């Protein structure tokens, strides 16, 4: 099948990123990065499977059987989770929706890809840690080192705010308000922003952290050694190290899979049966007192 009037695939991809995502939908930089990474994997797979360079690929190459092969490759060869597989496929679906309007001549092909379902998967229950476990993890980083001081105040901020990992590592110095009442501005999904109050102890620790290591307002609040924002993997690894150190005091921690997700869902003064969204609201508003 050939459509001489169809725009070249590279042109469609460029217009999708520049016009559709950034100019029309105003998606966040994180979404653009995630979609870019998905297309990198797709183009590398096409080069291997079709023996075509990205500039040689046509939209007709990306039919439903090819996309299904790509999704199987993600799960079986790259050992991606179903959640990751679905995230990669979401980028492809968004592109095919755009193509279906931009190039009606390949509408049938686009619809065949859009008909591929997302995979269902069970949502695991969030693990539970006691208050003593949390406090031991927060106290584990070495206060005599720069990384230890950063890790302590970073994990304390995660615990206080319930921020997502992307939100935490995206915080800038200018997002903090350290007055009599301390706040931090959090940039969430879809460019949504919210202000979360900080406990007095957290505010004091952040103030001390910035006094010891001052930085410009636009710089990351929790940088890596290079000064760039800490990565998602970097934050997770720092938390694992803190949990390993805390397991010397609480050996049962070694049996837990400690993740930022568990820390952000922990609410010290509410029962486990409390509705999680309500719990996070109460933590933000009622957490102004002593931690």
Cβ–Cβ under 8 Å, residues 94 and 19:
no
CA 137/CA 149 separation, integer angstroms: 13
CA 38/CA 98 separation, integer angstroms: 16
Instruction: Note whether 9-114 and 131-286 share their fold.
Output: no
**Given strand 176-178, what is the order of strands in its sheet?**
176-178, 182-187, 193-197
15, 172, 232, 261: the active-site residue: 261
Cβ–Cβ under 8 Å, residues 229 and 187:
no
SS3 state of residue 174: helix
C-alpha radius of gyration, the chain, whole number: 23
DSSP 195: E
Active site residue 264: yes
DSSP-assigned beta bridge partners for residue 193? 187
Active site residue 164: yes
What digits encode the pLDDT tens for the residues 225-265? 899 999 989 999 999 999 999 999 989 888 888 888 788 76
Give the range among 10-19, 119-128, 163-172 with minimum mean pLDDT: 119-128
CA 43/CA 29 separation, integer angstroms: 21
CA 81/CA 89 separation, integer angstroms: 12
CA 94 to centroid of chain Cα atoms? 19
Is pLDDT at 271 greater than 70 in this prediction? no
At the topology level of CATH, where does 131-286 sit? hpI Integrase; Chain A (1.10.443)
Tell me how far CA of residue 276 lies from CA of 188, 270, 279, in angstroms: 17, 10, 5
| Spatial CA neighbour of 242 closest among 215, 262, 213, 227 | 262
Kindly state the average pLDDT of the residues 54-66.
95
At the topology level of CATH, where does 9-114 sit? DNA polymerase; domain 1 (1.10.150)
Question: What distance separates the 2 farthest-apart alpha carbons in the chain?
Answer: 69
189, 191, 208, 257: the active-site residue: 189
More confident residue, 253 or 276: 253
More confident residue, 92 or 252: 92
- Vertex 234 angle, CA 232 and 236, to 5°: 70
Q: What does the domain layout of the chain look like in residue ranges?
A: 9-114, 131-286
187, 264, 265, 283: the active-site residue: 264
47, 164, 204, 291: the active-site residue: 164
């Amino acid at each position: 099948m050939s459509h001489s009037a169809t725009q070249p695939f590279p042109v469609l991809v460029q217009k999708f990123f520049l016009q559709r995502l950034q100019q029309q939908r105003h998606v966040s930089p994180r979404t653009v990065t995630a979609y870019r990474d998905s297309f990198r994997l797709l183009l590398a797979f096409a080069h291997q499977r079709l023996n075509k360079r990205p500039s040689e690929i046509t939209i007709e190459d990306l039919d439903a059987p090819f996309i299904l092969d790509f999704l199987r490759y993600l799960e079986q060869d790259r050992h991606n989770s179903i959640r990751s597989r679905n995230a990669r496929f979401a980028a492809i679906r968004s592109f095919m929706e755009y193509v279906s309007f931009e190039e009606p001549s390949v509408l049938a092909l686009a619809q065949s890809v859009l008909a591929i379902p997302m995979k269902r998967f069970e949502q695991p229950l969030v693990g539970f840690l006691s208050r003593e476990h949390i406090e031991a993890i927060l106290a584990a980083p070495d206060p005599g080192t720069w990384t230890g001081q950063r890790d302590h105040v970073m994990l304390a901020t995660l615990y206080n705010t319930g921020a997502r990992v992307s939100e935490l590592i995206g915080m800038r110095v200018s997002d903090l308000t350290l007055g009599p009442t301390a706040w931090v501005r959090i940039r969430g999904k879809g460019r949504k922003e919210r202000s979360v109050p900080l406990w007095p102890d957290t505010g004091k620790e952040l103030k001390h952290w910035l006094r010891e290591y001052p930085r410009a307002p636009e710089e990351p609040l929790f940088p890596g050694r290079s000064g760039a924002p800490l990565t998602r993997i970097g934050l997770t690894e720092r938390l694992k190290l803190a949990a390993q150190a805390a397991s010397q005091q609480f050996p049962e921690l070694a049996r837990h899979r400690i993740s930022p997700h568990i820390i952000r869902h922990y609410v010290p003064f509410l029962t486990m049966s409390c509705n999680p969204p309500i719990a996070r609201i109460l933590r933000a508003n009622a957490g102004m007192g002593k931690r």
